[in-house]
A and B are shown apart, each in its own frame.
Chain A
């Protein structure tokens, strides 16, 4: 245990920092805002491509996939540096962090070239089609059906909550390919281009605004998908799904740390002398410490649930305190509650009310807090399933 970073992490951070100083888009270039998690303005596509070409997009990957073979502590330093400077490296976070990353793990060489690299280079964007109206926490009960006939799947069913689908070029979907098998064993992962005939996307508003369009319903009717779009073996989709959610999950806690850090900054006045503000500082410190512990060799996958639960609940609780501390003023909307930064699209025009409401994304999406507690109880503490 030691407080200082290793010299090779420091060196790496300094290199990246120098790169950012030299290459960051200016405020004038970056004027157009992204309006969904798969809508990437042209300047942001160029920015992501620049990162890709210099090996600063996913530094843990080899150079052909936008990286430089960085170690886990170096990857953490990369994300910390981005967070510290309030920079998004991609405006299609699921495309980069989940879909491209899954393709790099489970895809064929052709799929990597055909889909992963264009997503990484921001030539196309991608969305994640897991949840269905009847399959939320119980994802394995999903019913969207894909029937293989020769070299073509025919897909019928419906996805929901598919963030950014209306702006995405391709969906990574999870579909039922063997209805006779036990539910975890009959699922496959399939790439479906959104331009394919029979794909209908209907965006709808979020809790924040009727026209805040990120959520989508996606209707799939007799969609024909070539077999080469199957990711991983047939009926091995559950493994891909766990990999997808597992991807970058080792460092997922950082997004909560970043939000807590934002709250430390933005709620400082309201929190002056308040015990909840001390709790916020403690939660942030504890999350970072436990996150760093995940970098070592004694990593345990279930511990990621501890980080997600701690981080997302801490964000929610501090957001509520900040909301209450502002009293009726917290109702004003839109309101400026954080500093503007042209490379970062969150918070600065969100009211405290909206920030609190949005904090529920953390405790619901990607496995709810209740599901995390189940995992901790069963896989860490050994209570019966």
Chain B
């Protein structure tokens, strides 16, 4: 096995990072248009995971995740405009269901695609202001979550966790108490070190999952459960230490930390928490 990004993949990551940083302050539809026009939706699984990590890092508000990792694997194509899919057999908390142009439904009779406008999905308010979820009322739904959908949420969560860690590091290197920067206290250092290890572990398992999908390796479903579970475990630790180390500043609306904490937590709660995927791993 070779487990290092090659030169092209590293370059892609750099480009994505720079582009997202530049585009993120623009209106949401402009961001979406840019990502579409760059062909990122067509990226193969590993490259897609790299892109999603960067979008997760930036608390991306566009329908990218649902289009690339929910709609596309279910239908085998990209939608006209944006897309999402219902594959949990229930139709609750479906990403983008209230505004996607096309929605794929996994039903007992197979996959059917309907225009989003005809679906009448009801958006549900949640704590993360940039995550769109809606309940779908449809008949004869069936369950079958694509591996890529789990990998996609995992990659997004890893990006969000990395952002939290970066914000924490910047904060504890700069804020002084008791005449020292916070980062010189060992209780702070050890929390940061544990966050780093958790991010590295989750990221490795996410890349592995993407790689097994790319190579259609027989371990791909196991790997997807591992990625989703590890990302969930990671966000649990990063949320707790990240908010704690910011002090009251992290408890405010104004500080952007909250956005990334919520994104990470939402990624864990959608399509099954870490615990659910640990259990699923044992029977996959």
Given contacts A286-B204, A373-B189, A383-B189, contact A3 B215 (CB under 8 A): yes
Asked if B68 is an interface residue, CB under 8 A from chain A, the answer is no
A286 & B186 in contact (Cβ 8 Å cutoff):
no
Query: By CB atoms of chain B within 10 A, which of A370, A377, A384 has the most?
Result: A377
B167 CB to nearest chain A CB (Å) = 13
Name B237-284 residues within 8 Å CB distance of A: 275, 278-279, 281-282
Chain A neighbourhood of B211, CB < 8 A: 1-3
Asked if B230 is an interface residue, CB under 8 A from chain A, the answer is yes
CB nearest neighbor in B for A278: B278
A290 CB to nearest chain B CB (Å) = 5
Asked if A296 is an interface residue, CB under 8 A from chain B, the answer is yes
Asked if B106 is an interface residue, CB under 8 A from chain A, the answer is no
Given contacts A275-B275, A282-B230, A381-B169, contact A289 B204 (CB under 8 A): yes
Interface residues of B (CB under 8 A from A): 1-6, 9, 46, 169, 172-173, 181, 183-184, 186, 188-190, 192-194, 196-197, 200-201, 204-205, 207-208, 211-212, 215, 217, 223, 226, 229-230, 233, 275, 278-279, 281-282
Q: Is the interface of A mostly helix, strand, loop or mixed?
A: helix
CB nearest neighbor in B for A297: B4
Interface residues of A (CB under 8 A from B): 1-6, 272-275, 277-279, 281-283, 285-286, 289-290, 292-293, 295-298, 306, 309-310, 370, 372-374, 376-378, 380-385
Chain A neighbourhood of B215, CB < 8 A: 2-3
B229 & A282 in contact (Cβ 8 Å cutoff):
yes
A212 CB to nearest chain B CB (Å) = 32
A380 CB to nearest chain B CB (Å) = 6
Of the candidates B3, B5, B196, the one whose C-beta lies within 8 Å of that of A292 is: B3
Chain B neighbourhood of A385, CB < 8 A: 184
Of the candidates A2, A6, A298, A306, the one whose C-beta lies within 8 Å of that of B196 is: A306
A377 & B189 in contact (Cβ 8 Å cutoff):
yes
CB nearest neighbor in B for A291: B3
CB nearest neighbor in A for B217: A3
B276 CB to nearest chain A CB (Å) = 10
Given contacts A1-B211, A3-B217, contact A293 B3 (CB under 8 A): yes
A2 & B1 in contact (Cβ 8 Å cutoff):
yes
Chain B neighbourhood of A380, CB < 8 A: 196
Chain B neighbourhood of A296, CB < 8 A: 2-4
In the complex, given contacts A1-B5, A1-B9, what are 6 additional A-B residue pairs having Cβ atoms less than 8 angstroms apart?
A: A6-B2, A273-B282, A282-B281, A310-B201, A377-B190, A378-B189
CA distance A221 to B151 in the complex (A): 62
A120 CB to nearest chain B CB (Å) = 29
> Could you list 29 A-B pairs, sorted by A, with CB under 8 Å?
A1-B2, A1-B4, A2-B211, A3-B212, A273-B279, A275-B278, A278-B229, A278-B279, A278-B281, A282-B201, A282-B281, A283-B201, A285-B208, A286-B204, A289-B204, A289-B207, A289-B208, A295-B3, A309-B197, A310-B201, A370-B190, A373-B194, A377-B183, A377-B190, A380-B196, A383-B169, A383-B184, A383-B189, A384-B181
CB nearest neighbor in A for B185: A383
CB nearest neighbor in A for B212: A3
Chain A neighbourhood of B9, CB < 8 A: 1
B3 & A285 in contact (Cβ 8 Å cutoff):
no
Given contacts A282-B205, A289-B204, A376-B197, contact A1 B3 (CB under 8 A): yes
CA distance A209 to B184 in the complex (A): 41
Chain B neighbourhood of A309, CB < 8 A: 193, 197
A250 CB to nearest chain B CB (Å) = 14
Given contacts A2-B211, A2-B215, A282-B281, contact A290 B201 (CB under 8 A): yes
Chain B neighbourhood of A381, CB < 8 A: 169, 189, 192-193, 196
A290 & B204 in contact (Cβ 8 Å cutoff):
yes
A297 CB to nearest chain B CB (Å) = 8
A292 & B200 in contact (Cβ 8 Å cutoff):
no
B281 & A281 in contact (Cβ 8 Å cutoff):
yes
A310 & B282 in contact (Cβ 8 Å cutoff):
no
B193 & A376 in contact (Cβ 8 Å cutoff):
yes
A1 & B6 in contact (Cβ 8 Å cutoff):
yes
CB nearest neighbor in B for A271: B282
Of the candidates B5, B173, B278, the one whose C-beta lies within 8 Å of that of A382 is: B173
Chain A neighbourhood of B207, CB < 8 A: 1, 289
Of the candidates B1, B6, B275, the one whose C-beta lies within 8 Å of that of A4 is: B1
Given contacts A278-B282, A286-B205, A377-B192, contact A383 B200 (CB under 8 A): no
CA distance A378 to B181 in the complex (A): 13
CB nearest neighbor in A for B3: A292
Of the candidates B1, B183, B193, B226, the one whose C-beta lies within 8 Å of that of A3 is: B1
A374 & B279 in contact (Cβ 8 Å cutoff):
no
Give 7 nearest A-B pairs by CB, closest first: A377-B189, A296-B4, A278-B278, A373-B193, A292-B3, A376-B193, A383-B183
CB nearest neighbor in A for B194: A373
CA distance A295 to B186 in the complex (A): 31
Chain B neighbourhood of A377, CB < 8 A: 183, 189-190, 192-193
CB nearest neighbor in B for A377: B189
A282 & B226 in contact (Cβ 8 Å cutoff):
yes
Chain B neighbourhood of A277, CB < 8 A: 282
B197 & A306 in contact (Cβ 8 Å cutoff):
yes
A11 CB to nearest chain B CB (Å) = 16
Chain B neighbourhood of A297, CB < 8 A: 4
A279 & B200 in contact (Cβ 8 Å cutoff):
no
